[in-house]
Amino acid sequence: MLSANSETGEQMRLTLEVTKERLKEIRKEREFYCPACGQKVMLKIGEIIIPHFAHIRKNDCDVFSEGETAIHLKGKHLLYSWLQSQKIPTLLEPYLKRIRQRPDLLVKNNEKYYAIEFQCSPITKQLLDKRNQGYQAVDVTPIWFPKTVGQVFSGTRKVRLTPFTQQFIKSASCISFDVENRCFWHFNHLVHISGNQFIATVKNISLKEQQFQSLSLKEEINHELYDEIWQIEKIRYLQNRVRFNKRGLKDPFLKESYDEKIMLGLIPNWIGIPMSEVQSKHSVEWQLLAVLLMKSIGRTDVYHYFHSKYPQYRITKKEFQYYVDFLCEHNPKLEWEDLEGSIFSSLVYNYFEL
């Protein structure tokens, strides 16, 4: 941790402006205590990890956890300096007693408060939701920056986002923080393909160029390029399903396709449209099976029959009904031909609010 209380109750924050020589002098002169549990902490000043406080003994302090990585400590320093350079009032690791939480940074901007969290370690959805609810209970808006994972490139393209990064997607967007290159990576207009694959408009903005107030601004979307990438990836997925199939006709999707004499490479564009729920398989699978079921039994209570017949596809009733409604409006007779490009585009962009 980068903040602690002195024996007089004064808070000491380890910012980049304080030299190691000065910190060594302070360490001899003063004692420090954890703002949350009140136990004594030591000021560590090493050559590899930047100066930080740590509990002298392992305890049950659930606010200031031990074992912070060097990248997390450095990231907090960089984000603090970034906000300070924009003259935005910022506190480093303030302890919020009412909710027993300690954000990495607490920011006040335009009379609103924001908790900034630079997340480097794995976090469960339950804990993430709990912390967000805590901040919201005291009228603080949480902003999460997961650390940048792997190599990233700018442009409109297919990207792979780890399950860790996917937790921080909000309104089809996510911003990661790259400590090594001192920049933010903006992943906007995210459309899920399958597994960990998405289509995204990716942009790199350096710390010097990024303004706090413009974090939510997005690049314009290239509709035509999104359409092109989506169709290419759908075909690639279907080819791989056949190529790497190990179950033969015991595979429900491939068996139904074979029985109905469907050529997978010629499936129309209205089967396999993107949906908001992240699934391990491409939407073309469950949507083709749903269409074949509708052709057989009609649309009445089709979700119930689909769920009973294909329980492996965990599709929510809301998403299933959205697809049925779309077909009722744009292709009620389920005619086996592509929809006009403009209709298909409006579906995708209106659904994802892109």
| DSSP letter (8 states) at residue 305 | H
pLDDT of residue 317: 93
Please provide the distance, in angstroms rounded to a whole number, between the alpha carbons at the two ends of the chain: 39
SS3 label, residue 276: coil
pLDDT of residue 199: 94
pLDDT of residue 67: 60
Percent of residues, the chain, with pLDDT higher than 90: 60
Angstrom distance (rounded) from CA 229 to CA 268: 15
pLDDT of residue 65: 58
> Would the pLDDT of 277 be above 60?
yes
Element (H, E) at 347: helix 341-351
> Would the pLDDT of 94 be above 70?
yes
pLDDT of residue 53: 78
SS3 label, residue 11: strand
pLDDT of residue 28: 76
> Would the pLDDT of 59 be above 70?
no
Question: What is the mean predicted confidence (pLDDT) over 159-184?
Answer: 95
Task: Report which of 176, 171, 112 is spatially closest to residue 140, judged by C-alpha positions.
Answer: 112
What Rg value do the Cα atoms of the chain yield, rounded? 26
> Would the pLDDT of 91 be above 70?
yes
Angstrom distance (rounded) from CA 7 to CA 57: 18
| φ, ψ for residue 158, nearest 5 deg | -80, 135
Task: Report which of 193, 198, 208, 141 is spatially closest to residue 174, judged by C-alpha positions.
Answer: 198
> Would the pLDDT of 352 be above 60?
no
Angstrom distance (rounded) from CA 130 to CA 128: 5
Mean pLDDT lowest among 58-62, 75-79, 259-263, 278-282: 58-62
The answer to whether the beta carbons of residues 115 and 142 sit under 8 Å apart is: yes
pLDDT tens-digit profile of 212-244?
999 988 888 888 888 889 999 999 999 999 999
CATH number of 69-220: 3.40.1350.10
Burial bucket for residue 123 (CB in 10 Å: 0-12, 13-18, 19+): middle
pLDDT of residue 64: 59
- The per-residue pLDDT of the chain, averaged, comes to 88
What per-residue string of b and e applies to 160-176 under the rule 16 or more CB within 10 Å gives b? ebeeebebbbeebbbbb
Mean pLDDT lowest among 2-6, 15-19, 98-102, 110-114: 15-19
Instruction: Name the residue ranges covered by the structural domains of the chain.
Output: 1-63, 69-220, 225-351
> Would the pLDDT of 8 be above 60?
yes
pLDDT of residue 349: 60
Where does 55-156 have alpha helices with state H?
70-85, 125-137
pLDDT of residue 142: 97
Question: What is the mean predicted confidence (pLDDT) over 143-164?
Answer: 94
pLDDT of residue 34: 82
Place of tokens 């596809």: 313
